[in-house]
Chains A and B, each alone.
Chain A
Amino acid sequence: MRRWSVSLLAAALAAGALCHAGTARADASLLNVSYDPTRELYRDVNAAFAADWKQRTGETVTIKQSHGGSGKQSRSVIDGLEADVVTLALAWDIDALAAHGGLVPADWQKRLPDNSAPYTSTIVFLVRKGNPKGIKDWEDLVKPGIGVITPNPKTSGGARWNYLAAWGYAAKKFGGDAAAKDFVGKLFKNVPVLDTGARGATTTFVERGQGDVLLAWENEALLALAEGDGKARFEIVVPSVSILAEPPVTVVDKVVDKHGTRKVAEAYLKFLYTPAGQEIAAKNGYRPRDAAVATKVAAKFPALPLFTVDEAFGGWQKAQATHFADGGTFDQIYTPGR
């Protein structure tokens, strides 16, 4: 009887994740609900962490992934998707977990170092090889005849960073929000396609050949270069100034307490801050926080002045309400007769 059940267990494990891991009590299982461009990053992180955890505790941990638009993923967690950890595109989407259903405490961002963002990124331009339209900086994006590809800020986290980066540049350069609104309005007049997510926009630019410049996460741009013959077809243009994108991570308290996975979930997120975790992030095109690792990969990530959402916009709550809520500046751009 016992041997029979042991072999059954082995068979269940061998068959992979056919059913919920209820059969294997000793082994932990985590669900990481993340946003779109981090698929490659967390595939590497999960493998490294599972090996590390096994070595340290002897336990096997399996980490399942779910990817999608940041806002959609956050809503899924609010609606009951049992994520042990969330790793999203912007802090506002995790704030929503605190506001709706109290899944995390309101001060979640203080629980881990560096605003709970173990890696950062920024917004750069991906242009076609040889930069035929001569795009050097934000100002070139509003010139007539330039096709700019960016996803829709209403549905994509990455697009919100794009939008705020452009806004912040213009507000600083031309002085004031009125000028910035005018600038961003002109920029979006040059956008022929608004995809719903960052990956969709990349596909539109790379595969469908739309537009002259893609506003992208730096890691997305680096990945586009690394895929296939990307280096022969595209190059990256780094603008004079951009935004410091801080994609935050946190443990979802209500879920880990229910699953009894708090210990391993917290270790998982802390692993992102270790030199090993930081190197994986750097390898996948995210800027590491760790100074030693950063020095090592300095050649990959050009230095440029970066402003934060807190400095330029007074935090995500405010930025969201001003720019992306219904009737905000983004809607005004597309409202006729203004």
Chain B
Amino acid sequence: MRAKHRHALPGFGLTLGVCLAYLGLIVLLPLAALAWKSASLGAGEFWAIVTAPRALAAYRVTFGCAALAGLVNLVFGPLLAWVLVRYRFPGRTLVDALVDLPFALPTAVAGITLTALYASNGPLGRALEAHGWKIAYTPSGITVALVFVSLPFLVRSVQPVLEHLEPDVEEAAATLGAGRLTTLWRVVLPTLWPAILSGFALAFARALGEYGSVIFIAGNMPMVSEIAPLLITAKLDQYDYAGATAIALVLLAGSFATLLALNLLQLVTVRRRSAGSA
């Protein structure tokens, strides 16, 4: 008899129970353990650890390189998506498949391989160093690894939007005499921004925490090329659980804030869009 009610699809209780239990057990309870462990520190102590010069430098490197990698992908991700959706060329399917390689290749393998390629005796590293650009064992190396790791996020968030783009607007622009570049810049790009930003946020959040691929190529110099996840590991190796969880909380807060900002952004765009159509 509940079925007669229009909105009463079954399974609310069941799925809500499953979701909350699973989410609680796998994600929330363990993350609460982080807070519990770092709570053994006093507020002053916590603050001293997370604002130590080494820690601040590590955030700078981590957030800086992640942002830089995000910016590189901000250009090349949508470009790649555009080329894959709109152009026909031999090997297109293969390139499309390759975009997901960074998802599937273990990060350690990626790290070892990138280091071998970009070290001063590797094929790419030698060529670049001849022009005075050192990649491996500098923050540039970290950025290269993060570009690799976070590329799929941008391509894959822009691609579906491009595929579903209505052709009439572009056609109208062309009919009105707009040049192709103007059309792309004024008409196509604005519709892509939400997808681009959402991809950027995911890529950035992912890059913040990346460890496996970065550690081989980073050089790990304190104050210069030491990333925050390495600082966590170093603290753990000294049995400093509380210190490690304190840094971990800062990193986590950064990622969560990025995701939250992304969700807010999407909310705003959806509202603006529905307001525009109304």
Contacts and interface: CB of A to CB of B under 8 A. Distances in A.
> Are A and B in contact, CB atoms below 8 Å, in the complex?
yes
Interface string A69-103: 10110010010000000000000000010001000
A325 interface: yes
A100 B238 CA distance: 12
A336 B215 contact: no
Contacts of B137: 192-193, 210
Given A78-B239, A154-B238, A196 B220 contact: yes
A334 interface: yes
B15 to A, nearest CB: 35
A310 interface: no
A193 B220 contact: yes
B171 interface: no
Interface string A207-248: 111100000000000000000000000000000000000000
Contacts of B222: 194, 331, 334
B120 A71 contact: no
Contacts of A196: 215, 220, 230, 233
B121 A208 contact: yes
Given A208-B115, A210-B119, A334-B54, A326 B221 contact: no
Contact of B53 (A155, A193, A336): A336
B233 A336 contact: no
A75 B220 CA distance: 22
A192 B219 contact: yes
A69 B53 contact: no
Contact of A194 (B221, B237, B240): B221
Given A208-B119, A334-B223, A69 B238 contact: no
A208 B120 contact: yes
B236 interface: yes
Interface in A132-182: 152, 154-155
Contacts of B240: 326
Given A71-B238, A210-B137, A335-B53, A193 B219 contact: yes
Interface string B59-73: 000000000000000
B151 to A, nearest CB: 24
A207 B54 CA distance: 29
B228 interface: no
B272 to A, nearest CB: 46
B238 A210 contact: no
B136 interface: yes
B37 to A, nearest CB: 13
B119 A75 contact: no
The listed residue with most A CB atoms (<10 A of its CB), out of B121, B216, B223, B237, is B237
Interface in B212-271: 215-216, 219-223, 230, 233-240, 243
Given A155-B233, A155-B234, A208 B136 contact: yes
B210 to A, nearest CB: 15
A191 B237 CA distance: 22
A208 B236 CA distance: 28
Nearest to B221: A194
B171 to A, nearest CB: 54
B88 to A, nearest CB: 41
A313 interface: no
A193 B221 contact: yes
A267 to B, nearest CB: 30
B122 to A, nearest CB: 8
Contact of B237 (A154, A207, A209): A154
A100 B220 contact: no
Interface in B180-236: 215-216, 219-223, 230, 233-236
B220 A195 contact: yes
A307 interface: no
B173 to A, nearest CB: 52
A155 to B, nearest CB: 5
Contacts of A316: none
A20 B231 CA distance: 34
B119 A96 contact: no
A334 B53 CA distance: 10
A53 interface: no
B206 to A, nearest CB: 22
A207 B137 CA distance: 14
8 contacts: A72-B237, A75-B236, A96-B239, A155-B230, A192-B137, A193-B219, A208-B119, A210-B137
Q: Which 7 residue pairs of A and B lie closest in terms of their CB atoms, listed nearest first? A: A71-B237, A209-B121, A334-B222, A208-B119, A154-B234, A194-B220, A193-B219
Interface of A: 69, 71-72, 75, 78, 96, 100, 152, 154-155, 191-196, 200, 207-210, 324-326, 331, 334-336
Given A100-B239, A154-B234, A331-B222, 4 more contacts: A196-B220, A208-B120, A326-B52, A335-B53
